[in-house]
Amino acid sequence: MQLGMIGLGRMGANLVRRLTTAGHDCVVFDTDPGKVQALVAEGATGSDSLADLAGKLQQPRAVWVMVPAGGPTDAVVTSLSDVLAADDTIIDGGNSYYRDDITRAASLAEKGIHFVDVGTSGGVWGRERGYCLMIGGDAPTVQRLAPLFAAIAPGVDAAPRTAGRDAEPVEAERGYLHCGPAGAGHFVKMVHNGVEYGIMAAYAEGFNILRNAGIGAATREADAETAPLAHPDFYRYDLDIAAVAEVWRRGSVVSSWLLDLTAAALLESPDLKDYSGRVSDSGEGRWTAIAAIEEGVPAPVLLTALTSRFSSRGLDRFASQTLSAMRQQFGGHAEKPAG
Amino acid sequence: MQLGMIGLGRMGANLVRRLTTAGHDCVVFDTDPGKVQALVAEGATGSDSLADLAGKLQQPRAVWVMVPAGGPTDAVVTSLSDVLAADDTIIDGGNSYYRDDITRAASLAEKGIHFVDVGTSGGVWGRERGYCLMIGGDAPTVQRLAPLFAAIAPGVDAAPRTAGRDAEPVEAERGYLHCGPAGAGHFVKMVHNGVEYGIMAAYAEGFNILRNAGIGAATREADAETAPLAHPDFYRYDLDIAAVAEVWRRGSVVSSWLLDLTAAALLESPDLKDYSGRVSDSGEGRWTAIAAIEEGVPAPVLLTALTSRFSSRGLDRFASQTLSAMRQQFGGHAEKPAG
Amino acid sequence: MQLGMIGLGRMGANLVRRLTTAGHDCVVFDTDPGKVQALVAEGATGSDSLADLAGKLQQPRAVWVMVPAGGPTDAVVTSLSDVLAADDTIIDGGNSYYRDDITRAASLAEKGIHFVDVGTSGGVWGRERGYCLMIGGDAPTVQRLAPLFAAIAPGVDAAPRTAGRDAEPVEAERGYLHCGPAGAGHFVKMVHNGVEYGIMAAYAEGFNILRNAGIGAATREADAETAPLAHPDFYRYDLDIAAVAEVWRRGSVVSSWLLDLTAAALLESPDLKDYSGRVSDSGEGRWTAIAAIEEGVPAPVLLTALTSRFSSRGLDRFASQTLSAMRQQFGGHAEKPAG
Amino acid sequence: MQLGMIGLGRMGANLVRRLTTAGHDCVVFDTDPGKVQALVAEGATGSDSLADLAGKLQQPRAVWVMVPAGGPTDAVVTSLSDVLAADDTIIDGGNSYYRDDITRAASLAEKGIHFVDVGTSGGVWGRERGYCLMIGGDAPTVQRLAPLFAAIAPGVDAAPRTAGRDAEPVEAERGYLHCGPAGAGHFVKMVHNGVEYGIMAAYAEGFNILRNAGIGAATREADAETAPLAHPDFYRYDLDIAAVAEVWRRGSVVSSWLLDLTAAALLESPDLKDYSGRVSDSGEGRWTAIAAIEEGVPAPVLLTALTSRFSSRGLDRFASQTLSAMRQQFGGHAEKPAG
């Protein structure tokens, strides 16, 4: 099957590789001609403009846009809609806000162009493992593109089948799912990332507790301003955090792919000293929080995981200063200098 | 190698089965003779009292206690210490508080009896998958018992090896880890469960957001007391939650064993209507929270996951009534009736 | 000074009463003629349509709109703009979203009509205590209306002056503040309510802890599914919650007006049994949470206070069912029935 | 009435001053003779040892211990019990853990000595405003000491009487309360401080949101790693935080004594630049959290307020590093440098 791919960064290029490997025919474009050449060398068809790309595809065409969300995606989709025709399909595989999908789909529908949004999870590992695809759009269009999604997704063998699923594997088991109309794919991907923040925070906090299990052994100066350690005898462990991450990978309830990665990171650097701990957040976590709030769904863990990232970047500073100022005012408590 | 096992509930019995299968020789005891008989039929040696069990083991003996934490474990360990001798070892494989281990180890040491605490994760699946073991105790004793632990643990093949681990697999890779002195095993298991609560909550909140993605389609009466839905057009999805759980299992960042189980549960019952949603908590989650607080380690996600369980059981009721009473006082706001 | 008032519900009527008492001249309108008559009897000038109201005011006119936020406010502001003229001012004193203010101000500016947004705090007590006013709009307009704001606000004597404020009281000390351009008033009021949610939750949780201080005295069946009370001897207090609320009102660090109200509510009904504990939330708390998230400001306490209200209305149900389902899957844990 | 006072720090000395002013007779002791002399100059009776102090009091004696909690209090109480006699009373007015009270009371009861624990709130302002007293102990002893408590407490005029309290003011209205048996006073004071943490955090977070209301006006470099500001036009306010704190003091729902103090601090230093924002926590907040957890009472706001203090001191660092390491592993996301 034929697919146009616009945007040949790491994600776009790897999608093309999986498709090409599976026998699909990709026409590729990037503003950087070098990236186009690289994929041509691997079997793709190059193009030097959107119009050129459109011309090399047979109608009805399908073009996958894999550029940064927001302005860049807007620009490409708009330009692309000028060189495509009715019954063609534009696929947004980036991290767009699902609300923008709804607008885009409506706008493209006026020209008879179909819009499909695909939330794509897999990170740097997707080339090899396959990507998990969460898809929104009208059913016939999504159905027509199924062979492409199947080639990108990990396939049923990537995990043991769920008990009770004995029939011919459904699409979800192959690693891609048509979630609903426009935006549904990015909505599910958004929540996926919100959940990811929560899971990551759970591990991170747990490892921090383990790492501090020896504080009872440290001598600490008495200090009226800070709570003394209640039971120093209960905190005298010197735990090997990397080994704990490793042992949890097998047979425990908390085994997961994120744990696998954490074990690898801790093996490389048991004290993670190359990381400063300023943790970015990139849109989906915030949007998930907003969705939860607007729905009225209590998501305290996901919200807290998000705010911890803000705090890690020092954005709690004025709040903390306010607390110190209050303490000074009511109790004459001077701040303790940094240790 | 020989091992005594006291307590033949599901966990104890399955441990015996794994050991027996691996060629170890188990002498078993339970207050229910039927349970003893069942395992004798599977190759274990039965006993009808602690003394009988002790008599059937060669010195230095190792006896695994697998009974409920707290009073029952206390009682068995105490009785057992009367029929064992110096250089023997008592293993507590239950969910004891690690602080009790420290006390028990010190007390048994006076008799020359070694104490080993083993946090055991694996649930009903451990028989087949093997159990993840987190172990505390003095090194020579733990080392001596390694063949038993290796038989119970999943083994290195249970997961792909971590990048960078190319040498002969260490014990953590085989699924068991000597974490440190007495209590260290249960300490690590405790934090493990705290992390588990956090991960579980992250999924649960995420699925709840997905399930409510269609509230914009519902008609809702205008109401001065409750925030209206800001953007109904953005909440018109009717998502197949079971399918989402399934698709996330392959290739996505949030794939995990807990997700595997959730997918199975949702396949059986997509709306989970057989569950009332009163979620128990069983000790380790609370102890983890207390450890975090005493260490001064911020664990807002783990703490919040715990409090959500309390709320699910209605324990927030008086707080909520207080809020309603305040609103009535300052704003004359009457409560909205349910439904 | 003259003011038109549209919407004579409790808030609107009380504002008119404070203004009339202070010697200002109010022309009032409501779709319910009975409400108009009631205020005419107290000295206001009645009107039977927006046009009639506009005709009874001298230019440049000022008209205060005190109707529900959203659609109703939109409708009144639009109609009003048709009967007003350049240089007149529309004041929105309701609970509008500050983002709508920005749009309204821009739209009205095209007709030369000024727009002022006023966040109004005070609840059912404002008539007597005065209302705290947070004001947005262009400076000359806000300045021109200052006598009206001064009459509505509590005045400097309502609280001891802050140490260091010795000069002629500034407007903030009189109880009203020009916060900035359009929307600034409602923005500050929004955060005010977000803070209010947090403070209310702090008290509510604290009183709940006090109320449960006697659980060690209760007999509780042993149960493998729920954590047993660790130290029953430490939880044998039978506290008089209403008396605690009362004693905290004098000399303690947590004294506040919300505590005054709570003390009154607990005096009336020590166990608050007339409240079911389904706590509404009415917009500003959600908007505050969204503002914090969009700003990247960590506000975990305000967010958690909000989610607790959602939980109080049972909106955590599917999440809790998911947790129970997971526990059933991995541990064979059946849910405990409600007690 | 006569009272011995041990420990003449700021709190102890101010208590003596309030008692002396009210006509009570205080015998005072401190290891620093200068502090004794200072109070003798104000009308107290000095002493140079515990025995001397005991000798100057008539039986049955009452001695108030006002020294740091933990070891120092333990030492003084023990020494004191050697120089007192049956029917005398020891009062612990410090910040002791209520569990220690239970132990101390039982131990002193063996000698026939009564023990009374008094949680004392009021900070540096108590001298002038009076202290809020939360009292534990046996009823006859507490009743006998009532005149002392009444002199220390603020008295009924310190706040308007609660609606419905028309009879002769009860003790709670005078600012002191017998909460229950030994430990009950410190228990209630502990929860009081837990609530205080929550309220403080609510204000602090709110002011932080206000302070960042202008971030839409700042230019910010585009960045794939961090969520861009969704709606810059909605965040262009330059708010005067000190003025907002001031205006909220009159007529608003969030007026409180803590807000009064915040307003004073912000007037002195609008950007609080003299504070680094490392916020201490001093025991009661942690104990409140632990009590909530042991009771099974959901207190997510109080717990989160506590963990934010930990984070303000950088104790989240290893957790944040873990998050960054995970992000690097799965997405190749490099950390953004500070600033």
At C220 the pLDDT is: 61
B313–D307 C-beta distance less than 8 A: no
The C-alpha of A305 sits at a distance from chain C's nearest C-alpha, in angstroms, of 9
The C-alpha of A282 sits at a distance from chain B's nearest C-alpha, in angstroms, of 15
C317–B125 C-beta distance less than 8 A: no
User: What angle, rounded to 10 degrees, do the helices at B300-312 and D300-312 form?
Assistant: 180
Chain D contacts in chain A segment 230-269 (CB below 8 A): 230, 258, 261-262, 264-266, 269
How far is the C-alpha of C298 from the C-alpha of C289, rounded, in Å?
10
Is B296 near chain D, with CB under 8 Å?
yes
Q: Is B23 exposed, middle or buried (0-12, 13-18, 19+ CB in 10 A)?
A: exposed
Nearest residue, CB atoms, B330 vs list D253, D297, D300: D253
A128 has a pLDDT exceeding 60: yes
How many contiguous H segments (helices) and E segments (strands) does chain D have? 15, 8
How far is the C-alpha of C45 from the C-alpha of C27, rounded, in Å?
5
Among residues of chain A, what percentage have pLDDT more than 90? 91
Q: List CB contacts (< 8 A) between A245 and chain D.
A: none
The C-alpha of B336 sits at a distance from chain C's nearest C-alpha, in angstroms, of 7
Residue of A nearest to D68 (CA): A224
What would the two tokens of residue A210 be? 């383990």
Is A121 near chain C, with CB under 8 Å?
no
Spatial CA neighbour of A308 closest among B299, D226, B201, C285: B299
B212–A255 C-beta distance less than 8 A: no
How far is the C-alpha of B6 from the C-alpha of D98, rounded, in Å?
40
Residue with more model confidence, B87 or C219: B87
Report, as residue numbers or ranges, the catalytic residues of A.
189, 196
**Choice among B189, B284, B335, B336 that is catalytic:** B189
First-residue to last-residue Cα distance in chain C: 63
Q: In the predicted model, what is the mean pLDDT of residues C179-196? A: 98
Average pLDDT of chain A to the nearest whole number: 95
Size of interface A-B (CB pairs under 8 A): 370
Among residues of chain D, what percentage have pLDDT more than 90? 91
pLDDT band at D123 (very low <50, low <70, confident <90, very high): confident
What would the two tokens of residue A21 be? 């490997």
Residue of A nearest to C254 (CA): A330
The C-alpha of B111 sits at a distance from chain C's nearest C-alpha, in angstroms, of 28
At B229 the pLDDT is: 81
A10 half-sphere exposure, CB direction, 13 A CA radius: 12
Q: List CB contacts (< 8 A) between C201 and chain B.
A: 319, 323
pLDDT band at D336 (very low <50, low <70, confident <90, very high): low
Q: Which residues contact C327 (CB under 8 A, 6 or more apart)?
A: B279, B280, C333
What would the two tokens of residue D214 be? 């202008």
Is D179 near chain C, with CB under 8 Å?
yes
Report, as residue numbers or ranges, the catalytic residues of D.
189, 196
Taking only the tens place, the pLDDT of each residue in D125-134 is 899 999 999 9
Prediction ipTM score: 0.96
> What single-letter DSSP state applies at residue B181?
S
How far is the C-alpha of A176 from the C-alpha of A134, rounded, in Å?
6
Chain A contacts in chain B segment 65-84 (CB below 8 A): none
Taking only the tens place, the pLDDT of each residue in C49-106 is 999 999 999 999 999 999 999 999 999 999 999 999 999 999 999 999 999 999 999 9
A227 has a pLDDT exceeding 90: no
At B123 the pLDDT is: 82
The C-alpha of C127 sits at a distance from chain A's nearest C-alpha, in angstroms, of 31
Residue of D nearest to C208 (CA): D297
The C-alpha of D207 sits at a distance from chain B's nearest C-alpha, in angstroms, of 21
For tokens 């006072």, the residue is: D5
D207–A322 C-beta distance less than 8 A: yes
Taking only the tens place, the pLDDT of each residue in A26-77 is 999 999 999 999 999 999 999 999 999 999 999 999 999 999 999 999 999 9
How far is the C-alpha of B280 from the C-alpha of C337, rounded, in Å?
10
Q: List CB contacts (< 8 A) between C313 and chain A.
A: 296
D272 has a pLDDT exceeding 80: yes
At D339 the pLDDT is: 45
Is D229 near chain C, with CB under 8 Å?
yes
A247–B302 C-beta distance less than 8 A: no
Among residues of chain A, what percentage have pLDDT more than 70? 96
Is B317 near chain C, with CB under 8 Å?
yes
**Alpha-carbon B322 to chain mean position:** 35
How far is the C-alpha of C176 from the C-alpha of D262, rounded, in Å?
18
Return the H-helix or E-strand segment holding C81: helix C71-83
C304–A315 C-beta distance less than 8 A: no
C339 has a pLDDT exceeding 50: no
The residue count of chain A comes to 339
Chains in touch with A (≥3 Cβ pairs < 8 A): B, C, D
Spatial CA neighbour of C163 closest among B105, D289, D267: D267
Residue of C nearest to B124 (CA): C331
Q: List CB contacts (< 8 A) between C326 and chain B.
A: 200, 203-204, 258, 261-262, 265
Q: What single letter denotes the amino acid at residue A229?
A: L
A314–D338 C-beta distance less than 8 A: yes
pTM of the model: 0.96
User: Within chain B, where are the H helices?
Assistant: 10-21, 33-40, 50-55, 71-83, 98-109, 126-129, 139-144, 146-152, 171-174, 184-211, 241-248, 257-268, 284-295, 300-312, 317-331
Nearest residue, CB atoms, D307 vs list B286, B300, B315: B300
At C282 the pLDDT is: 84
At C226 the pLDDT is: 64
Segments of chain B with pLDDT less than 50: 339
The C-alpha of D150 sits at a distance from chain B's nearest C-alpha, in angstroms, of 29
Q: List CB contacts (< 8 A) between C171 and chain D.
A: 247
Asked if D60 and D37 count as a contact pair (C-beta separation under 8 A), the reply is no
A319–C298 C-beta distance less than 8 A: yes
For A133, phi then psi, to 5°, come to: -115, 125
**Alpha-carbon D21 to chain mean position:** 24
How far is the C-alpha of C303 from the C-alpha of C292, rounded, in Å?
9
Taking only the tens place, the pLDDT of each residue in A173-209 is 999 999 999 999 999 999 999 999 999 999 999 999 9
Beta carbons within 10 angstroms of residue C9's beta carbon: 15
Asked if A253 and B155 count as a contact pair (C-beta separation under 8 A), the reply is no
At B44 the pLDDT is: 98
At C230 the pLDDT is: 78
Phi-psi region of A7 (alpha: psi -120 to 50; beta: other; left: phi over 0): left
pLDDT band at A339 (very low <50, low <70, confident <90, very high): very low
Q: List CB contacts (< 8 A) between C253 and chain A.
A: 330
Which of A212-226, A245-259, C188-202, D120-134 is predicted least confidently? A212-226
The C-alpha of A184 sits at a distance from chain D's nearest C-alpha, in angstroms, of 20
How far is the C-alpha of A21 from the C-alpha of C135, rounded, in Å?
63
Nearest residue, CB atoms, C164 vs list D130, D268, D305: D268
B162–A267 C-beta distance less than 8 A: yes
Spatial CA neighbour of C128 closest among C149, C155, C148: C155
How far is the C-alpha of D41 from the C-alpha of C106, rounded, in Å?
69
Chains in touch with D (≥3 Cβ pairs < 8 A): A, B, C
Q: In the predicted model, what is the mean pLDDT of residues C101-124? A: 96
Chains in touch with B (≥3 Cβ pairs < 8 A): A, C, D
Q: List CB contacts (< 8 A) between D290 and chain B.
A: 290, 293
For tokens 């100022």, the residue is: A325
Q: In the predicted model, what is the mean pLDDT of residues A153-178? A: 97
Mutate to test the interface with C, among A97, A191, A205, A297 (most CBs of C within 10 A): A297
Q: List CB contacts (< 8 A) between A301 and chain B.
A: 198, 201-202, 205, 301, 304-305, 308
Spatial CA neighbour of A220 closest among B298, B296, D287, B293: B296
Taking only the tens place, the pLDDT of each residue in A290-313 is 999 999 999 999 999 999 999 999
pLDDT band at D211 (very low <50, low <70, confident <90, very high): very high
